[in-house]
Amino acid sequence: MSAEPRLVEVRKNVLKQNDVVARALRERFRAAGVYVISMVSGPGTGKTMLLEKTLTMLQPQFRVAALVGDLATDNDAMRLARSKAPVRQISTGTICHLEAAMVEKALEAWNLNELDFLFIENVGNLVCPSSYDLGEELRLVLLSVTEGEDKPLKYPTIFNSADVAVVTKMDLAAAVEFDQELTDRNIQAVRPGIQMFHVSSKTGAGIPEFLEYLSGRLSGSHTAAIERT
C-alpha cells in the first residue's frame, strides 16, 4: 500500500478548498500521532454498530474517540456513548456528506495528542462523500450482504476512493443467499488490490482480524511519521 491514503492519490489533480483544509488536518493528525479512520457506506449498512464494537474492543489498549455525521439526529452519538469513548455528533442539516471544515470545527476543544485513534463516521450515502477528503489516513467503505452484490459496480467512485472494504452483516449471508465470491470480484474490479474484511458485528465473526489490521496500521503510521521527520 502506498504512503498516502487512496483519496489523496485520486484527488491530487483536482485540489479544491476542501482538499486544502483536509491536507492541513492530515498534517495536524500526523503531528499529534493520532491515526484517523473514516467510514463511508449507504444508510443502514451497520457503520455505527461496527464502530461501537470497535471503540469498545480497542479501548483497553488504545485511546479512541469518534465523530459521527448525520443529517438530523444525534441517535448515533447516543449509541456510541455506550462505548464510554469520547464521541461528538456533527449535524449536516441537508448536506449529504461531511466536509473537512466540519471535522476541523468539531475537534476544536479536543486535544489530539491524547488520542491514538480517531474514527469519523460519515453520513449514510454511497455517492456524496466520495470526493470529500476529511484528512483521514484510512478510509473504510462498508457494504452489507443485504444490499446486493452489484453495488461496487453501481457506485464505483466511493469504492475507488477507499483504502479498505468491509462486508458487513455476514450473519445474514445465508438468509439473503449472499454470493461472496461475486461481491469480492466486483469490489476488486472497481478497486484492484483493495484490502477486504468480512464481518458480523452481531456474532463477532471477522472482528478480531479487522481490529488486528487497524492496530497494525497504528504502529505503521507512527513509524511513517518518524521517518518523515
DSSP 228: H
Is 123 a binding residue for its own copies by CB under 8 A? The answer is yes
Instruction: Calculate the dihedral angle through the C-alpha atoms of 61, 53, 81, 27, rounding to the nearest 10 degrees.
Output: 60
CA distances to 27, 110, 115, 221, 222 from 34, rounded to whole Å, are 10, 12, 6, 9, 9
For cell 483544509, the residue is 21
Is 144 a binding residue for its own copies by CB under 8 A? The answer is yes
Q: Are strands 35-40 and 138-144 parallel, antiparallel or unpaired?
A: parallel
In the shown chain, the binding pattern of residues 67 to 106 toward its own copies, with x for contact by CB under 8 A and - for none, equals ---xxxx-x------------------x-x----------
The length of the chain in residues reads 229
List phi, psi (to 5°) of 220: -60, -45
Residue 114 C-beta: closest distance to its own copies, Å: 30
Q: Which is nearer to its own copies, 60 or 192 (CB)?
A: 192
Grid cell for residue 191:
478497486
List phi, psi (to 5°) of 89: -90, 140
Grid cell for residue 172:
445474514
Span interacting with its own copies, options 17-25, 152-160, 193-201, 214-222, rule CB under 8 A: 152-160
Residue 157 C-beta: closest distance to its own copies, Å: 6
Per the CB < 8 A criterion, the answer to whether 208 and 224 are in contact is: no
Is 192 a binding residue for its own copies by CB under 8 A? The answer is no
Residue 71 C-beta: closest distance to its own copies, Å: 6
Beta-bridge mates of residue 168: 144
- Among 146, 180, 195, 215, the residue binding its own copies under the rule CB under 8 A is 146
Is 205 a binding residue for its own copies by CB under 8 A? The answer is no
Residue 125 C-beta: closest distance to its own copies, Å: 6
Is 47 a binding residue for its own copies by CB under 8 A? The answer is no
User: Footprint of its own copies on this chain (CB under 8 A)?
Assistant: 42-44, 70-73, 75, 94, 96, 123-128, 130-131, 144, 146-148, 150-151, 153-157, 169, 172, 175-176
